[in-house]
Amino acid sequence: MPKIVILDGHPLNPGDLDWGPLAALGELSVLARTAPADVVARAGGADVVLTNKVRLGREEIFGLPELRFISVLATGTDIVDLRAATERRVVVSNVPGYSTASVAQLTFALLLELTHQVGRHSEDVRRGGWARSLDFSYTLAPLRELEGLTLGVVGYGAIGRSVAEIGTAFGMRVIANTRSPRAGAAHPHVPLDELFQKSDVVTLHCPLTPQTEGMVSEERLASMKADAFLLNTARGPLIDERALETALREGCIAGAALDVLAVEPPEGTHPLAGAPNCVITPHVAWASVAARKRLIRMTVGNVRAFLAGAPVNVCLPP
């Protein structure tokens, strides 16, 4: 019976979902969290290792001689050294598409918070602001309408396309940038610099790679419209966070909403937490109950397929 170890099961399943279908496939050990220094010891003897955010680098992969299969409990695979896994003949699979609807939904929750500041207005009402008002209606900041604005989607995979469709439903004009433009795509492809310059809203949905790290640079932020918004529900290191803080404080852009940061959790108080018009949520776009159920179901499928000798959703080094 194969030994299966989950290195960081708590974020995916804090107790409201069932590990039973996975336990039926082997000897299952579920660890709530695993520190980097403990990976080899805790996964020792495992044939199959599942990880969400615990890194499996070259040292860990070569330090686990029984390891045959890694199933990433996510879509992005930047936490696994795919080249080392290939050298060791360890198969790596991911879970594509499980969170598309949830991430697209949170993307617009963040955007609507920037345009209508629902939380700020609700809190002001709780503090008695409406009761003290001389008028039946008041606003704490200008409210923005989405219809007619240009939405720039960076990364035109499943999530990017879903966000583009929702933007279209709001009456937005959508432009996109992707590594592999496709003929006949529903929305026009434009160069990245042009997208930043023309968009009223820029939303990031691309993977983290050496080429995309820091892509939202000081120069690109400076090229954006002064009343533009920036959204990130992809990966934190896509953005130069110091440059973004400066851009927000100096009014180079109107606001930002982020579900991801370069270091998670942040070390102490993050500089962006005090920046004006900056909304930050704790990496929750993926975490709806429906998405987490799909993630477990698809992971069970990954493990079952590997054990049957026909792995699916296999990830190869770039």
Instruction: Give 275's Cβ-side CA count (13 Å radius).
Output: 26
Q: Are residues 113 and 86 in contact, defined by beta-carbon separation less than 8 angstroms?
A: no
**Is 235 considered catalytic here?**
yes
**Is 264 considered catalytic here?**
yes
Residue 216's beta-bridge partner residues? 239
Closest CA to 279 of 244, 227, 318: 244
Distance CA 100, CA 295 (A): 11
Distance CA 110, CA 225 (A): 19
- Residue 163: its H or E element: helix 158-169
Distance from chain centroid for Cα 164: 16
* Neighbouring C-beta atoms of residue 158, cutoff 10 Å: 17
Q: Which of 187, 235, 270, 294 is catalytic?
A: 235
* Neighbouring C-beta atoms of residue 105, cutoff 10 Å: 18
- Name the maximum alpha-carbon separation found in the chain: 72
- What is the phi/psi pair of residue 122, to 5°? -65, -45
- What is the phi/psi pair of residue 194, to 5°? -65, -40
Q: Which of 144, 283, 292, 294 is catalytic?
A: 283
Distance from chain centroid for Cα 294: 16
Active site residues: 235, 264, 283
